[in-house]
């Protein structure tokens, strides 16, 4: 009957509207460097920057322990490696480029990974 179809349409529209309400609150949340690192870098570089993440163990070259590889490197050099990837600093292209991160996010990541160097 006609009224059945109306009910079905209302259900579909209602479910769609409900899904929008669920999605919106989660998306407007600034990420800390720790979250960004966990999401983008940890799989290769490992939770403590030692290069022993699950992917890091499989790839060649393995990422180097940041405590060793960042020694004597300037913030600019580190930022360049993150933004442009390995080749930007003469390293392997296994290190991906993160050109879509903002300068602020990169600066926070630089400070975050330098802390492993202690
Ligand atoms: C697919 C694995 C992978 C991911 C993901 C990754 N890296 Fe790397 N990264 C590498 C490898 C491998 C090297 C070493 C390349 C070499 O030695 O030639 C490297 C090198 C670097 C270097 C240069 C210093 C060094 O240790 O050689 C920095 C800085 C760096 N990564 C930061 C990051 C940050 C920050 C992220 C996340 C935004 C990230 N990487 C994500 C694999 C990865």
Nearest ligand 1 atom, CA 68: 26
pLDDT the model gives residue 11: 62
Give yes or no for residue 85 having a pLDDT over 70: yes
What is the average pLDDT across 97-116? 96
Q: What mean pLDDT is predicted for residues 10-21? A: 58
Number of the ligand 1 atom closest to the C-alpha atom of 40: 37
Whether 56 and 62 have beta carbons less than 8 Å apart is answered as: yes
**How far out from the chain centre does Cα 101 lie?**
9
Place 24 in a pLDDT band, splitting at 50, 70 and 90. very low
The rounded distance, in Å, linking the Cα atoms of 98 and 112 is: 16
* Residue whose CA is at the smallest distance from ligand 1 atom 29: 78
Distance CA 73, CA 67 (A): 11
Distance CA 23, CA 103 (A): 27
Residues 34-63: pLDDT tens digits? 999 999 999 999 999 999 999 999 999 999
Higher pLDDT, 5 or 81: 81
């Amino acid at each position: 009957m006609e009224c059945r179809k109306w009910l079905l349409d209302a259900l579909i529209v209602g479910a769609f509207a409900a899904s929008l309400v669920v999605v919106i609150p989660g998306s407007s949340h600034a990420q800390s460097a720790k979250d960004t690192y966990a999401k983008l870098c940890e799989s290769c570089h490992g939770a403590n920057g030692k290069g022993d993440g699950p992917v890091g163990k499989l790839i060649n070259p393995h990422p180097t322990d940041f405590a060793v590889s960042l020694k004597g490197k300037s913030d600019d050099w580190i930022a360049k490696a993150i933004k442009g990837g390995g080749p930007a600093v003469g390293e392997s292209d296994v290190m991906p480029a993160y050109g879509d991160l903002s300068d602020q996010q990169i600066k926070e990541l630089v400070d975050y990974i330098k802390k492993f160097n202690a």
